[in-house]
Structure 1
Amino acid sequence: MKKLLILIISIFLISCNGQENKKLVTNNKKMDKQNLEYLTFGGGCFWCVESCFNLLKGVDKVISGYSGGHKENPTYEEVCTGETGHAEVVQIAYDPKIISYEQLMDVFFFLHDPTTLNRQGNDIGTQYRSVIFYKDDAEKAKAEQALKKSEASGKYSGKYVTEITKLEKFWPAEQYHQGYYEANPTQPYCSAVVGPKIAKFKKHYGDLGMLRPEVD
């Protein structure tokens, strides 16, 4: 009886390990850097958004920057006044054979509240607005569909205020903003706001097998 019990437990463990290994290799294809696509959107402070998307399989690079304004080559200080019209955004280079536009949109709506106008938590101003930028009509249609899907999910009870806007220009932010959280994890805002959000993100998308193996 004891041996039988040990055998049953062993089979169960092997089965569980097999499922876990299967999860870890999901979408574990080699990235095709010659055929990357690009997606630009804003969902609050770009320090957090950039850090989270950089953890996903299929994402080659994430750059923090500014879009949607009227001033050429804006600075962070100018954008923070709200007078240039820009939003803090990230531009993502990704391999659509590994991670789809639709999956990236699911992450986008997971990471911020699309029902708060010009605000995310204590970050207030038009530079923190919820906005998706599209490059052509086909991508506009996909953005509209992603928005409808998120609204139908019932995750947020308020009315969505996410803008869907034609991308005119993306301006990379100053170098010190790139990888900001990784370089400054103990900075007060990072430790109080960004860190907890990244931890929540890792738990959710790690369980779905969507993180790079080294961070899953």
Structure 2
Amino acid sequence: MIKEHFSKLDAALILAILAACSYALVYQLHVGYLGYYGLGSPFIELNISTMTPALLIVLIVFSIIILIANIIWNILFSKMKHNSKVTKSHSKISFETKSMLTLLISFVIIQSTMEITSGLGKSMAESRSDYFVINQDNRLYVDLVYYKDLIVIAPVDIKSATVSPNYKVIEMKSLKNAEAVEFIDGLKLKKAKLAQEYSDKINPQE
């Protein structure tokens, strides 16, 4: 009964860890994607459709972690397995060492995976070529991010293929008057104004 109880606790803990890692993975992907356009985390939307692929990736990553830990463990401590003089205390130390080794490898791989995922998100935005161009108040905008029933748009310069960091949020139905346009080399974000430049703009000196 006690063993079964602990097995359930272990399973619940593993599921919680996998879910947390999946959340972090998707979050980092969105952070990288939004960061390319100069947008922040408030526009991140996580749901089942985005979490499911991440969970599969996390399962693969954890499988790799366990495999690598076992390979390193077998290489480093293979001689101990054939030593008949190994005591229970040594076995306990060996188990603790293996656990620490697994945790260390897990930390390194997870940290690296998060950084790679963030970079992947940025790369996805950078390589994106298909946008909807929306004409509002005689000014052209492109769709950047979809958040629930809303769209974050920004002014676009068609000739230079750049977007300005002057964002607007519109409803999804506004896309009825939009036109699909392909920017072969993608779009680049214009550099945001410095605080002093913005202050001089809204408070011009006489």
- Quick check: TM above 0.5? no
TM-score, normalised with respect to structure 1: 0.25
* Greater relative contact order (CA < 8 Å, ≥ 6 in sequence): 1
Which has more helix, going by share of residues?
2
Q: Report which of the two structures shows the higher radius of gyration computed on alpha carbons.
A: 2
